[in-house]
Amino acid sequence: MNLDQKHKIEYEKNKPENRRKRMQEGLPFPYPMAIAVELSAACNANCYMCPRKNLSRAVGNMDMGLYKKIIDELFENKVQLRKIFLYWMGEPLLNENFDKMIIYAKEKNVAEMVVMASNAIALNEENAKRLISSQLDELFISLDAFHQETYEKIRGKSISIEVIENNILRLMDLRKKMKSSYPYVRIKILKSDLNKDEIAEFKNKWNPIVDEVYVEEDINTWNATNENVNRNISGDSHFKERAEKGVQRWPCDRLWYQIAISQDGFVTPCIADWNGSGFIGNVKNNTIFEIWNSSEVVEMRRKHLDGECGELPMCKDCKRWIFRNMGDWLIKNRSKALAVCKKNAK
């Protein structure tokens, strides 16, 4: 890893033990620590581990007015998130205003880190220059393969992996020519049975080129409500190895620190809730503060504390809690876990 000073700090903050400490010391939070804002629900890839193609909710791009409403609320209430993720279930570069949205969040200083993930299919020269000029803090590129055959199995046959690689190489070259350190570029390979034998090649190729190569081991079935993803992933040895560790179910701590906002403004307290079965409000009609501190969210949290997750469609069969929990701490600190902020602190 070629970590700059900012990302050395981020690396420490992202450690699970430090995230737990922030939660234990800070609950209840008036606002979530992180928000995923779906700039687009459309996508130009067809990944075997993603349920997006079966979305029954609206598919489109977030308009600038709605986006500004989200950012303005955070700014006006002096909120600085740990991170704002400008993506969720689609490809953010498909939103024609993506760079304006990055710049607006940066100007308002509403997050320590402004992060975007991309499959890099639309990372042409113009978009690369726009990303660099926007001073996006971090670009997270999902490539997931070294060989074309593997790429097609994982991410579909829409494009050659060589085109993607050239897009990334051009981005790094342009960043140098534009004398910028933005964005910090992380390239990811999600470890699975399909690509496990080419991870070493992947790392050797990309380590000298990008800022960080990330081997992700959290292969999952989202919230296990999509038959195609369940079929594709449930037999993967890496998934089974991790899923079998979940013997006793603990409360999933995602409900206490993060939300996702769909391109048309609906809010869910979990990014794994890909199709919105847990939508609890819309920022067109309510503030983030009102939704985050609502009785609906408190009841979801209570169900997790009392072992009633099966009553929540988005949580019933989900396995991601295995990787996002604080053991019995939330149960033992029930009053703190169920507390909310009654008024917005400006």
From first to last of its 346 residues, the chain has per-residue pLDDT tens of: 566 677 767 767 777 788 889 999 999 999 999 999 999 999 999 999 999 989 999 999 999 999 999 999 999 999 999 999 999 999 999 999 999 999 999 999 999 999 999 999 999 999 999 999 999 999 999 999 999 999 999 998 879 999 999 999 999 999 999 999 999 999 999 999 999 999 999 999 999 999 999 999 888 888 889 999 999 998 999 888 877 765 678 899 999 999 999 999 999 999 999 999 999 999 999 999 999 999 999 999 999 999 999 899 999 988 888 777 888 999 999 999 999 998 754 4
242: which 2 tokens?
């991790």
Q: What's the pLDDT at 246?
A: 58
What single DSSP character describes residue 111?
E
What was the pLDDT predicted at 218? Answer: 85
CA-based nearest residue to 51, from 243, 204, 231: 231
For tokens 């897009």, name the residue: 167
What's the whole-model pTM score? Answer: 0.94
Question: What is the distance between the alpha carbons of residues 233 and 219, in angstroms, rounded to a whole number?
Answer: 8
Alpha-carbon Rg for the chain in angstroms: 20
Q: How far from the centroid of its chain's Cα atoms is residue 305's Cα?
A: 24
Q: Are 239 and 219 in contact (CB under 8 A)?
A: yes
* End-to-end Cα spacing for the chain: 39
Strand partners, 188: 142, 214
pLDDT of residue 345: 44
What is the per-residue pLDDT for 45? 93
In this prediction, residue 55 carries a pLDDT of 94
Query: How open is the CA angle 81-87-92, to the nearest 5 degrees?
Result: 135
Cα(123)–Cα(77) distance, integer angstroms: 34
For the chain, how many helices (H) and strands (E)?
14, 8
The pLDDT value recorded for residue 346 is 41
Do the Cβ atoms of 291 and 255 come closer than 8 Å?
Answer: no
